[in-house]
Amino acid sequence: MTKASVSPTCYLFTFEADPEFPTPRSGQFVNVAVSDDLTLRRPFSIAGIPAPGRFDLLVEMRGKGTRALAEKPIGSAVGVMGPLGNEFTLPEPGDVSLLVAGGIGTAGLRLLAQELRLGGHRIRTLVGARTSEGLLHHVLPSQAGDEEPSLEVATDDGSEGFHGTVTGLLKRALGEPDAPARVYCCGPPAMIAAVAGIAAKAGVPCEALLEEMMACGVGACRGCVVATRSGYKAVCSDGPVFDTSELVLEELVRA
């Protein structure tokens, strides 16, 4: 394991995987044994594949689990279960995809951005945060060489980019000619609900990666369920990626 600080509160970790570790797909996550003192593993989205046999995690320091991971010496062996969960649905060739990330939600879309760029898909990215310090757009794959500007940022306090929430940028993007055919989002529940509502109004399919509290990580404990139109579903095993038209958005925000 190696790590690099990418913001005042986030680290980018790179792990060398065991040979039998399957190649992760965008949307999937790992459940990490962050410390011998903490029984519960912590889930993190796979945030990139920097080289065959390696994977990245982009982790925001929240509490004792994430701090314990950051305090591990470089080169430590770490117990990782995965890749777990389902995957994003990839777009049709030629379609423009819009990636909408809030704060650490950027981690959940970083591998998708990498996969789409490698597959030759056209993408636009909207990244929001409360302040400029929370923006993580600089860890996304480079936009150099894009024919049109493909990245916009928003901050709630106006310290960088658009002054307001990332959903303000989304409304504008979906109203433009050559509007994206598909939206992917990851971020706080209120942001996901707002993005889902705007995409539904524009008639654009939207998928969200949910970061629900988890325990077992494999569908056994029902500790991570979300309300959907076809009943409660486990984020760890039915998700973490959901078509937002399936989610009961009022319950998502209330949880």
Ligand X SMILES: Cc1cc2nc3c(=O)[nH]c(=O)nc-3n(C[C@H](O)[C@H](O)[C@H](O)COP(=O)(O)OP(=O)(O)OC[C@H]3O[C@@H](n4cnc5c(N)ncnc54)[C@H](O)[C@@H]3O)c2cc1C
Q: Which residues bind ligand X (CB under 6 A)?
A: 29, 42-45, 47, 58-60, 62-66, 104, 107-108, 211-214, 240
Per CB under 6 A, 222 contacts ligand FES = yes
The tokens for 168 are 């303000």
Cα distance between residue 251 and residue 24, in whole Å: 30
Per CB under 6 A, 224 contacts ligand FES = yes
Cα distance between residue 50 and residue 197, in whole Å: 34
Q: Which does 29 bind (CB under 5 to 8 A by kind): ligand FES, ligand X, none?
A: ligand X
Helices in 133-188 by DSSP H: which ranges? 166-175
With CB under 6 A as the contact rule, which of the stretches 51-59, 84-92, 184-192, 220-228 interacts with ligand FES? 220-228
Its sign, for the CA torsion 51, 55, 61, 65, is negative
**Max alpha carbon distance in the chain (Å)?**
54
Q: Which residue type does 221 have? A: C
Cα distance between residue 238 and residue 241, in whole Å: 8
CB nearer to ligand FES: give 11 or 44. Answer: 44
Per CB under 6 A, 81 contacts ligand FES = no
Per CB under 6 A, 234 contacts ligand FES = yes
Per CB under 6 A, 223 contacts ligand FES = yes
CB nearer to ligand X: give 111 or 173. Answer: 111
Scanning the structure block, which residue is given the tokens 């936009």? 143
Q: Which residues here bind ligand FES, judged by CB under 6 A?
A: 214-217, 219-224, 234, 236
